[in-house]
Amino acid sequence: MSTGSDDPVRAFLAMLSAERGASANTLAAYGRDLKGATAVIGDLAGADRAALQKLGQAWGDLAPASLARKASALRQFYAFLQDEGLREDDPSGALPRPRARRPLPRLLSHAEITALFELAEADAAHGDPVAVRLLALLELLYGSGLRATELVSLPLAAVPRDAPFVTITGKGGQQRLVPVGTRAGKALTHWLDLRVAGGRYVFPSPRGGHLTRVRLFQLLRDLAARAGLDPEKVSPHVLRHAFATHLLEGGADLRVLQTLLGHADIATTQIYTHVDASRLVTLVNQRHPLGVTQGQVRIGG
């Protein structure tokens, strides 16, 4: 591509617009980041690794997400310069690489969960198959912590009638056994009794195949609105978070929770420990020798 400009930054932004279809907001954000870097080190196109290291110092007080965005803009800029033959080397390895913190999951309180279930149970009590299906879906999301894809694509063969568990094939084709509680088991049995025969999925689609994730999302949002909750707060993934959070609050072991959720790395499961800090402090106060000894300072006040 011929830039047709003596200003490398302007040429880079033009490329983003023409070749990648970047929006005006994206272009403006990249422009601000590159302009800010120029104010610190001068000529960006000719900057060396030592100059870029100064940016890491200047950006030291930024939030990890802001730092990552600025560094990304510069990395793309230097990759562009190499592609255009304007530089032979890429000094961007000297830029900081912040480890972005995993965002905390959105949470539903016990009261909000209760509101969802009370409405779903009232609807299902009339025996309408659509309502019975929704209650079964809700029970498996919150009661067993299934991912949306795992739930909607659950095959009939994975649901033994005589055992309180289902066999889930999760990410990477890994299989795990997931317990199905008494409540969820009753809801699932009720749905299977009403389900139209045929097909290989527990939750079939009228058009063939299985219920889609989009439709599951829509059903939950509608239920939340009718239950007086903010629909934006409710999704299949949020219910999975609630399953994990409330189990941890109840004393579940983190390794057990990892198995139930199908996490390959326990670091993924540890995101839930933040929600139960008060219980952990209480546990230390009650069980640690300094916490239970009369006259000793108690942790947490």
**Contacts of 171 by beta carbon, 8 Å cutoff, 6+ apart:** 147, 262, 264
CA distance 77 to 58: 19
CA distance 143 to 164: 12
What pLDDT does 100 receive? 52
CA distance 277 to 272: 10
> Is 171 among the catalytic positions?
yes
Which residue type is seen at 235?
S
Which among 133, 240, 241, 246 is annotated as catalytic? 240
> Is 240 among the catalytic positions?
yes
Which among 171, 200, 233, 274 is annotated as catalytic? 171
> Is 207 among the catalytic positions?
no
Which among 30, 78, 201, 272 is annotated as catalytic? 272
Which among 221, 237, 279, 298 is annotated as catalytic? 237
> Is 263 among the catalytic positions?
yes
Q: Is 122 exposed, middle or buried (0-12, 13-18, 19+ CB in 10 A)?
A: exposed
All domains of the chain, ordered by start, with CATH?
8-94 (1.10.150.130), 110-238 (1.10.443.10)
What pLDDT does 106 receive? 67
The alpha helices in the chain, defined as continuous H runs, are: 8-20, 24-41, 49-58, 64-83, 110-124, 129-144, 148-152, 182-194, 213-226, 236-249, 254-261, 266-269, 277-287, 289-292
Q: Which residues of 252-283 are buried (b: 16+ CB within 10 A; e: fewer)?
A: eeeeebbebbbbeeeeebebbeebbeeeeeee
CA distance 24 to 67: 21
CA distance 210 to 156: 11
> Is 237 among the catalytic positions?
yes
CA distance 4 to 11: 8
What pLDDT does 193 receive? 93
Q: Which two tokens stand for residue 26?
A: 């994206």
What pLDDT does 99 receive? 62
DSSP letter, residue 5: -
> Is 147 among the catalytic positions?
yes
CA distance 108 to 141: 13
Which among 147, 195, 210, 241 is annotated as catalytic? 147
Which among 263, 274, 279, 288 is annotated as catalytic? 263
Given phi > 0 = left and psi -120 to 50 = alpha, else beta, which region is 292? alpha
Distances (CA, A) of 162 to 82, 165, 177, 180: 63, 9, 14, 12
Return the closest-CA partner of residue 242 out of 142, 123, 128.
Answer: 142
Q: Mind listing the pLDDT tens digit of every residue in the chain (301 residues)? A: 334 457 899 999 998 888 777 778 888 889 999 999 999 999 999 999 988 888 878 887 887 778 888 888 898 999 899 888 889 888 988 887 766 555 555 678 889 999 999 999 999 999 999 999 999 999 999 888 888 888 999 998 888 777 687 888 777 677 787 888 888 889 999 999 999 888 899 999 888 889 999 999 999 999 999 999 999 889 998 888 888 888 777 777 777 777 777 776 666 666 666 555 555 566 567 766 665 544 443 434 4
